[in-house]
Amino acid sequence: MSRRGLLIILSSPSGAGKSTLAGRLRAWDDTLRFSVSATTRAPRTGEVDGKDYYFVSVPEFQSQVEQDGMLEHARVFGNYYGSPKAPVEEAIEGGRDVLFDIDWQGAQQISNSALKDHVLSIFILPPSITELHRRLVSRGQDSPEVIEGRMQKSWDEISHWGGYDYVLVNDDVDATEAQLKTIISAERLRRSQQPQLVDHVRNLQSQFGDRT
């Protein structure tokens, strides 16, 4: 193994461009995988267990939480959602990066978990609140009421920007994509991500002994 994998967390208020950027990152590196969340809600039409979500019962979910099997979890609109720890640990030890599309609460839980040394957290800010609103409207996916709810929630999300390793202002998606690639490429070379360096340095030190 040349390196350990990263837990790459992307967070942002809705409409800041996080999903678009996540898709571009996966197109750039097809080894980058999304973390598949577990949920207690019922599958929607077309959703596949193990691909879109791990669909579990409430007792199963609660049991995983009690056994420390979730990196992060929360209850949203009466259903539980969480990130199973085992597949992430397997990916990290195999040198594969895992991408998380989660809010600040989930990011905080993962950053305080046993895998915190491998976390790379990035928050995406919009260039302005006016532009954020324009993007939500232009998507044509939500009613005015839903958009207003997302706008109100965005203030709380933005207020947690200081808890992330990197913060990018997405005023140009191409430029932001380039910045993300630079950050990820550099973080993959972090000393803690390269376990083979210890043996390499020891080998170099032994070579000094051969010269005496």
Would you state the pLDDT for residue 45?
86
Residue 130's pLDDT band, with cuts at 50, 70 and 90, is very high
Task: Please say whether the beta carbons of 72 and 106 come within 8 A.
Answer: yes
Exposed, middle or buried: residue 2 (CB in 10 Å: 0-12, 13-18, 19+)? exposed
pTM metric for this prediction: 0.85
Question: CB-based contacts of 167: which residues, under 8 Å, 6+ apart?
Answer: 122, 123, 125, 161
Q: Provide mean pLDDT across the span 59-76.
A: 93
Q: How far apart are CA 202 and CA 84, in angstroms?
A: 36
Q: Radius of gyration of the chain from Cα atoms?
A: 20
